[in-house]
Structure 1
């Protein structure tokens, strides 16, 4: 089930290379149904899948460097924030996983990207970025661009003919699909409830306690000196 959710609803791909010949990671973060994702897969699976996508790009970057005869290459990341909503930064189960992923990335992959370009950012994106800034390293902040005229900036980095038409370019799959599903996973719809995890514990309740937080629970003790 985890594989199907990530394969069908976790929007990402490597549609083409930038003008320097290095791979571009396209992350369709805005359309992601974060609440449905949390109900369908574990935090561990989300983080593991995200790092797997990054590792795929690093392999492509290594191949790019070898082809150009250079010691190393870095990725360009394009983040599509179309349809971003408040759930992306207020739904605690997801934000906890995302911040954990971000910490792992900054600690272990600080040089993976040379540029992170945000496109189709709605008005709430700037507020979300302001909330995120305190946990971003200065190095990472210097890489992030959120331009108003994103198309002009995007095509300074990538040839329009190579970029998927759905995101403003001219590229299409052989069958004419502008989203280039042969290279990019993209699905705007919410994750169906049929994908939601079933722990077969109808009489139980799940409780998440975040770092620095606490919960007071009441237990009915039937046996004296019982230890929890």
Structure 2
């Protein structure tokens, strides 16, 4: 049994019923509530109800932390990503699923990472996933049957050592892990075309982050790749550069995003050359350790704002909440309110903010526990901004206002 509607075993049907019952409390918050959607999570965990429930609840937290529900309407990638990251959606396969292209060769990884943050790349891929899910929903309505997965084409012609640059590979693996954890069963098949001799090296760097189910969907095509693509995608839906009849993908309404060959990123986009930050504090996070900064927020609605840069290598960063100022707690013992991630702050300065919905002690945590050999020097500025109702006419609402207690207490 495939585990899909119309092809469920009695045990699978019973598991679906139990799964729906166990997630009643979060069902209204999910992007979809129908059985097709719920079965994707069950299939991803081989119909283990407990594991599927844990996966789905974690996904809901991911959606809240990354503001996924509004990412299409309220966020756009930086211009440099839109102009210099090649690829996009174009056409549909013979079963009506959207086709997504990634064109690897022309991409300038180092130029992109000097021009935008790692989080911008991750958010742009989340946005792409949501756009594709919307397109699947449109196709489901149009065709009168469930469309829930996509066909992907990876054009790796021109893949070279520049693409194996460590920060780029690390970010790509994070994106793969994000996709596996939050968009299960979203991939129908993936075709790798025009693979050079270096491709097996690149694939070996990332394949262990893929589930066995995903790996089975990857097809590395040989010299007859055009013939194979035509078996799955009608010529009218395939760009002419890939053997089809679409002559102008960028202008065709079936192509919602550009598929273009790009040049190296101009140095004028490089953030490091144009943003000279003045930081108020510095600290060194020892190898294999972390440091926490405590900020006590007395009033709901305050905004906690931070900027930081690291020297030499990336640094982990996240924001947590605890009950009492000065008490020592590990990250696992606190509530995480800004997802802890590794930031390439040695390449691009990071900044962010959080509206504190309730009073408490908010902990900014710099994490270097994953680095066994290298300490990290961090330059940073943190501000606490008062909600408008508490600002004095003369005050600017900044952290120096005496009605907000904000002290940076460092602890490993």
User: Which of the numbers 96, 108, 117 marks the counterpart of 2:170?
Assistant: 96
- State which structure, 1 or 2, has the greater radius of gyration over its C-alpha atoms: 2
Structure 2 partner of 1:53? 128
Q: Distance between the aligned counterparts of 2:156 and 2:225, measured in 1?
A: 12
Q: Deviations over 1:119-145 (max 9, x none)?
A: 121111122112322221101101111
2:90 aligned with 1:15, yes or no? yes
Do the aligned partners of 2:312 and 2:376 also contact (CA within 8 Å) in 1? no
Structure 2 runs not aligned, ≥5 long: 1-75, 280-308, 316-369, 378-409
- Residues of 2 paired with 1:100 and 1:194: CA distance? 27
1:119 aligns with 2:193: yes
Runs of 4+ in 1 over 4 A off after TM superposition: 201-205
**How many residues are treated as equivalent by the alignment?**
213
Contact 1:7 1:185 (8 Å CA) reproduced? no
- Structure 1 217/40 Cα, relative in aligned 2: closer, same or farther at 3 Å? closer
What do the CA deviations read for 1:141-199 (whole angstroms, capped 9, x no partner)? 011111112111111111123211122322112xxxxxx22332413311111111133
Taking structure 1 as reference, are residues 86 and 202 closer, same or farther at Cα in structure 2, changes over 3 Å only? farther
Which structure shows the bigger proportion of residues in strand conformation? Answer: 2
Distance 1:209 1:100, change over 3 A: same
Which one of the candidate residues 207, 229, 238 is aligned to 1:133?
Answer: 207
Partner of 2:263: 189
Give the TM-score normalised by the residue count of structure 1. 0.84
- C-alpha RMSD of matched pairs (Å): 2.4
Shift of 1:47: 0.6
CA–CA separation in structure 1 for the residues paired with 2:190 and 2:180: 14
Q: Distance in 2 between matches of 1:213 and 1:10?
A: 33
Q: Which has a greater percent of helix?
A: 1
C-alpha distance in structure 1 between counterparts of 2:268 and 2:189, whole Å: 37
Alpha-carbon spacing, 1:72–1:29, altered in 2? closer, same or farther (3 Å): same
List gaps (5 residues or longer) in structure 1: 174-179, 219-226
* Separation in 1, partners of 2:116, 2:79: 10
